[in-house]
Amino acid sequence: MKVTITQIDTACLLIDINGFKILTDPAFDEAGKKYLRADGKTYLHKTGSPAMSTADLGAIDLVLLSHHQHKDNLDDAGRAFIETVPGVISTKEAVEQLQLNNVHSLEEWESLEVEADNVEELTITATPCQHASTKEVSAKMGHVIGFIIEWKEQENGVLYISGDTVLFEGVRDVAERFLVNTAILNVGKAGIPASTGDVYYTFTADEAIEVAEMMHVDHLIPTHWEGWDHFQEKSQEAMNHFAKSHIAEKVIKLEPGKPVEIDI
């Protein structure tokens, strides 16, 4: 089936599956905003603006929110936007803290079949994430999930959305449990050296290459690598790594605002 994917902002993507529109990690604030981190001392700085506005999107059927606690995955405008959609799938903590009736939780490996008139047997499964390169720091970062999207007419494997994670055993479990056709991976090697030293919070380019290889994907779509000052590997640096790898021809670099159609 043809699936259209459009990069909007950070890890915010519009995924159109035969007319059923899914939005990931809504972020719609403009560049220049800064957000106080949980430590009460340091800030996250947004350097890029979304390629599309909420008005440009049209009706969204479902939001997949990997986690609610970090502004680069759910900023202020994104928080307002999720109140307008029919359904959001996220963590149990998001359900508790957002206190919105349209937010539903999934635990790791739990699945939910979503009603979609134009996509038969559309199913969302939550996958595990480790949101830091050490388990100790990850525990402080809060609960995060990724997603598997599958439907009846898939012939070449599922669509995997990593969420904010590094390479760890949970990602390897995804590779063992699912035949993945397309992997959307949150890269950028997010980190704040002045605060947490060498710890990083999302895939490095080299880790993304390893994930693509272990999953034998047809397509690797990197995201979450531009628009904030805490990304230590910007898109061009990551693309240089990809170009030298065995999976170079599988990488699809999305241009913000420009839809790309792929077969899944």
**Neighbouring residues of 54: CB distance < 8 A, sequence distance ≥ 6:** 28, 77, 81, 84
Edge-to-edge strand ranges of the sheet holding 122-128: 111-114, 122-128, 145-150, 158-161, 180-186, 219-223
Q: DSSP alpha helices (H): ranges in the chain?
A: 54-57, 76-81, 92-98, 135-141, 169-177, 193-196, 205-215, 235-243
**pLDDT tens sequence for the chain (264 residues):** 899 999 999 999 999 999 999 999 999 999 999 998 877 778 899 999 999 999 999 999 999 999 999 999 999 999 999 999 999 999 999 999 999 999 999 999 999 999 999 999 999 999 999 999 999 999 999 999 999 999 998 988 999 999 999 999 999 999 999 999 999 999 999 999 878 899 999 999 999 999 999 999 999 999 999 999 999 999 999 999 999 999 999 999 999 999 999 999
Dihedral angle of Cα 197, 251, 8, 206, to the nearest 10 degrees: -10
- Supply the pLDDT for residue 40: 78
- Supply the pLDDT for residue 87: 98
- Supply the pLDDT for residue 37: 83
- Supply the pLDDT for residue 63: 98
- Supply the pLDDT for residue 175: 98
Secondary structure of residue 90 in the 3-state scheme: strand
**Neighbouring residues of 119: CB distance < 8 A, sequence distance ≥ 6:** 17, 18, 19, 20, 151, 153
Secondary structure of residue 7 in the 3-state scheme: strand
In angstroms, the CA 118 to CA 115 distance is 9
Tell me the CA distances in angstroms from 23 to 33, 57, 122, 177, one per residue in order.
22, 9, 15, 24
- Supply the pLDDT for residue 43: 87
- Supply the pLDDT for residue 177: 98
In angstroms, the CA 103 to CA 95 distance is 6
